[in-house]
Amino acid sequence: MRETHRPRETAGDSGPELPRRRPGRASVHGTGASGSGTPHRSDGRPPHTPRGARRPGPAGHPGTTPPVPGWPASLVLAPLMALVVLFGLITWQVAVGGPLVRLDERVGESLFRRGPAALTQLFSDLGGVPVALPVLVCAIAYALWRGARRLPVYAALTMAAVPALVIPLKVATARQGPLTEAVNYYPSGHTATAAVAYGASALLLLAVDRPTWLRAWLPPAASVLLTAATGVGLVLHGYHWPLDVLASWCLGPVLLAPLWWAGRRRAANGR
């Protein structure tokens, strides 16, 4: 019976003094919004679940786990997993010569040598090492000048991963080129180089600067347009089959994901 009346005695004897914390109560209910004594309840009552004690993440979003601070991991992992699955499907079809490859060859033959040859050649050259690599080098130098140390290293490692992955796939699949008897055309090395070089450059610029709304969209939009132009030029000029380009478009974002995550972490930490 004494334990039955204990809550009433505690409430009545509090007077002007602050209520004492009883043993065994969860510590998460001890702090919170000013004046309430609780994390999120405005009426002074403690929350019913430990979820009420979660602190918001950056920009007011609920605290979550990596890879994206402040956003659910599924929003990032789901598209990346879809790209990985699509890349695996295309690679499997190319390796076994499946129906997707035959469809790809029919579509490619209808697209070859279309458009101005000089323009398609220019687009194709955007994915060459002499063009794409200097752009990334300039972005790395700018990031180093702005005080970044780890991100430029991550960008260089991401670029080095392109030949490390593409060359073995070319040798393993040994796909013949569209207008030649030479092999080792899958996936497109020029498209993968463009995707990583321009994409990494955009991510570095976004990570080391605090851009305005326009400047925040300009680097990513430019990298997407340059990568798309490279792939279109390679197909229209007859350098690659469409699936060669599509596979590299899938590979690029997957390779860039760790660099993007590191840039988001740097921005969230304010350094």
What's the pLDDT at 237?
A: 95
What's the pLDDT at 270?
A: 58
> Which domains does the chain possess?
74-269 (1.20.144)
Check residues 41 and 224 and name the one with the higher pLDDT: 224
Check residues 60 and 172 and name the one with the higher pLDDT: 172
Total Cβ atoms within 10 A of residue 51:
11
**Rounded to two decimals, what is the model's pTM?**
0.72
Q: Which of 166, 125, 169 is nearest to 252 (CA)?
A: 166
Q: For residue 56, give the 3-state DSSP assignment.
A: strand
Q: Which of 241, 269, 201, 238 is nearest to 97 (CA)?
A: 241
State the distance between the two ends of the chain, measured CA to CA, in whole angstroms.
Answer: 59
Cβ neighbours of residue 89 under 8 Å, at least 6 residues apart?
Answer: 100
Check residues 60 and 265 and name the one with the higher pLDDT: 265
Burial class (CB in 10 A: 0-12, 13-18, 19+), 74: exposed
What's the pLDDT at 187?
A: 97
Q: How confident is the model at residue 74 (pLDDT cuts 50, 70, 90)?
A: low
What gap in Å lies between CA 4 and CA 8, rounded to an integer? 8
What's the pLDDT at 212?
A: 74
Determine which of 29-38, 91-100, 114-123, 162-171 has the lowest per-residue pLDDT on average.
29-38
What's the pLDDT at 63?
A: 44
What's the pLDDT at 147?
A: 87
Q: pLDDT tens digit string along 165-176?
A: 999 999 999 999
Determine which of 100-114, 155-169, 255-269 has the lowest per-residue pLDDT on average.
255-269
Q: How confident is the model at residue 36 (pLDDT cuts 50, 70, 90)?
A: very low
Average pLDDT along the chain: 80
| Contact criterion met (CB below 8 Å) for 266 and 209 | no
